[in-house]
A = this chain, B = another copy of it.
Amino acid sequence: MKVGIVGAAGYSGEVLVKLLLAHPRVTLAAVTSRTHAGKPLAAVIPALRGADRGLRFVDSDPVALSAGDIDLFFLALPHGAAAVYAKALVAAGKRVIDLSADFRIADLATYQKYYGEHHAPELLKVARFVLPELAGPAWKTEAKLVAAPGCYPTSILLPLIPLLKAGVITREHIVANACSGVSGAGKKAEEMYLYVERAESMKAYGLAKHRHLAEIEEQLTLQSGAKTIIQFNPHLAPMRRGIATTITVPAAPGASIDSLYAAWRSSYEGRPFVQLLASGETPDTAHVVGTNRLDMSAIHDVRTGNFVITSAEDNLVKGASGQAVQIMNLWCGFEETAGLI
């Protein structure tokens, strides 16, 4: 099967190229980039020297891509741009997995509030938001266009959704603090992201208005069946990759650490990419970077009545490109772990 990547110059695009070049079931047949068209992949991604199989970036013309023989496209573009490509490719009958925010939010007004104009609102009804461990089987046959979840949302939704569904936690006073590596901001030549500014520096940012909030709250609400809002506090940590998230939430009356873990196990037992750590052990981003895993654990603080839930993932893998490959694997009937660790 042939796959293509539209827009691969950023950090998650680079990870996606590496994963697909090494994937045992698909051939990476095209990688597009307006700026880099004509250049060998390794000229732009030096980590691929001697390993880019002679591939060169091609121009990213939606019409030409639609007419070709590639079966499935990954869109690794900024929001806004992704919708334009999705429109052409879906119309041409291609499968599309979008890594941008364009189809993650079902509600158009919410999208517009956080991201501005939507360039293909008519596709919202055919798009599916797929968090593989929680999405059920129907999307595999129904979907034409899949939105891969965002990095912060993945680290919050995987722990919380089974607990909300099982009634183990309350819906009030959920506080999610997350610390992300600097690659989460993308490859932007801005002063704020310079080495000298970020090394040895820790800070909160985007309080009460980070765009991922739209996706997090919509999914919590849709999947648990009741309006849910949370306090989401993102932070920038002095590391390249990884997200460590710590969620404080009051236990539901009668809930215990056992009922929490039972809810998790019934959702995730046997799933390779969600690993439950024993209560008291905490996940570490260094243990998941380079893998498609989310590690998580929880404690019950009887003094406060809260559960404190901790999760860790690689923002560029389980939080972006690895999860997109996992979606492809499931969609195309490959082994879920094909090409992933």
Knowing A204-B310, A284-B46, say if A246 contacts B177 (CB, 8 Å): yes
In the assembly, what is the distance between CA of A198 and CA of B201, in Å?
15
Q: Is A244 a contact partner of B203 (Cβ separation < 8 A)?
A: yes
Range for the number of chain A residues in contact with chain B? 35 or more
In the assembly, what is the distance between CA of A173 and CA of B187, in Å?
37
CB neighbours of A326 from chain B (8 A): none
Q: Is A199 a contact partner of B231 (Cβ separation < 8 A)?
A: no
Q: Is A239 a contact partner of B204 (Cβ separation < 8 A)?
A: no
Q: Is A301 a contact partner of B208 (Cβ separation < 8 A)?
A: yes
| 1/0 contact string of A17-57 vs chain B (CB within 8 Å) | 01000100000000000000000000000110111000000
**Cross-chain contact of A177 among B177, B199, B230 (Cβ < 8 A):** B177
In the assembly, what is the distance between CA of A51 and CA of B11, in Å?
25
Min Cβ gap A220→B in Å is 13
Q: Is B306 a contact partner of A231 (Cβ separation < 8 A)?
A: yes
Interface centre among A286, A288, A293 (most CB of B within 10 A): A286
Knowing A50-B293, A179-B235, say if A282 contacts B203 (CB, 8 Å): yes
Binding site for B on A (CB under 8 A): 11, 18, 22, 46-47, 49-51, 173, 175, 177, 179, 181-183, 187-191, 193-205, 207-208, 229-231, 233, 235, 237-242, 244, 246, 248, 250, 272-273, 275, 277, 282-291, 293, 295, 299, 301, 303-304, 306, 308, 310, 312, 341
